[in-house]
Amino acid sequence: MASIRMPNRAWRPILRLRYAPLRMVVALFVKTLGWSARILPHPDGWGKIGDMDGKKIFSWKEVYRDYLALAWMAGAILLVDQITKAIVRGNLELGEMWAPWTWLEPYARIVHWKNTGAAFGIFQGFGDVFTVLAFVVSGAILYYFPQVPREDWILRLAMSLQFSGAVGNLIDRLTIGWVTDFISVGSFPVFNVADACISVGTAVLVLGMWWKDRRQKLETETSPDPISEQVE
């Protein structure tokens, strides 16, 4: 059996998963998650995870690349979300309103708002419940994101938006005890960048699923019937 290549030959005896007990722990963990997997030798990286029949194989290198893509997409949104909230908290008192022009204020304005509930101010007072829910949603996205094919960029985009929105509001709940909302448009509930990402991510997910289902139906309708071809 070929040995696993490590980034540094000097550390190979220490880091080699082929003989380390960590190999069994990782395989057991992955199998518990339902992959029924094992570590396989991989000449181009740290190793591969795949199922027992070899049909589904995951490369650690590819998994790192997937998480890097998620970090870039979600990280940029998180940065904007946290910076805008910090600017609002640093310049406006709680409940204070601001608009660049007086004529714009009836239609759109910035207001420092305290939200102890969910997105758009619903279910006030259930902050602890939504804190736990944010952990669950974020963990689920982290688990499933590498399993989504890179060709399915719509689903990946939706998951990145939802992940950044969940983590953005989770940071607020863990640091200050509530979520800072500040975008007020018309009579619509006050929201923030994270809330917008959650809503847009959900819309993208629904539209993506609808488009994928529609495309599969069209392909099924246009594909020739193999039985009729054999009869002919």
Residues ≥6 apart with Cβ < 8 Å to 118: 126, 130
Residue ending a domain, among 55, 72, 88, is: 55
| Structural domain includes residue 229 | no
Summarize pLDDT for 21-60 with one digit per residue, the tens: 444 444 444 443 443 333 333 333 333 444 445 445 556 7
How big is the chain, counted in residues? 232
Q: What angle do CA 20, 25, 29 make, to 5 degrees?
A: 150
pLDDT at 183: 93
Across 17-26, 59-68, 193-202, least confident range: 17-26
Q: Please give the residue range of the domain that contains residue 24.
A: 9-55
pLDDT digits (tens, 9 = 90+) for 79-135: 999 999 999 999 999 989 999 999 998 899 999 999 887 766 666 776 788 889 899
Same domain, 114 and 146: yes
Note whether residue 1 is domain-resident.
no
**Residue 204 and residue 89 share a domain:** yes
Q: Is residue 209 part of a domain?
A: yes
231 in any annotated domain: no
| Statement to judge: residues 127 and 157 lie in one domain | yes
Domain membership of residue 3 (yes or no) is no
Angle at 41 between CA 39 and CA 45, to 5 degrees: 100
For residue 230, is it within any domain? no
If one compares 207 and 10, the residue with the highest pLDDT of the two is 207
Per the annotation, the verdict on 66 as an active-site residue is no
**Domain match, 142 and 76 both:** yes
User: Quick one: 116 and 46 in the same domain?
Assistant: no
147 & 34 share domain: no
Of the candidates 66, 81, 172, 181, the residue annotated as catalytic is: 181
Q: Are residues 192 and 115 in the same domain?
A: yes
Task: Check whether residue 197 and residue 99 sit in a common domain.
Answer: yes
Do 111 and 27 belong to one domain?
no
pLDDT at residue 121, as a whole number: 65
Q: CA 227 to CA 85: how far, in whole Å? A: 62
Count of domains observed in the chain? 2
In-domain check, residue 33: yes
Active-site residue, 195 included = yes
Q: What's the first-to-final CA gap in the chain, in angstroms?
A: 51
Q: Which of 51, 152, 195, 213 is catalytic?
A: 195
Structure tokens at 214: 């529609």
Same domain, 17 and 91: no
pLDDT band at 213 (very low <50, low <70, confident <90, very high): confident
- The reply to whether 115 and 205 lie within a common domain is yes
The answer to whether the beta carbons of residues 110 and 88 sit under 8 Å apart is yes
d(CA 181, CA 73): 22
pLDDT reported for residue 146: 86
- 176 domain residue, yes or no: yes
187 and 202 belong to one structural domain: yes
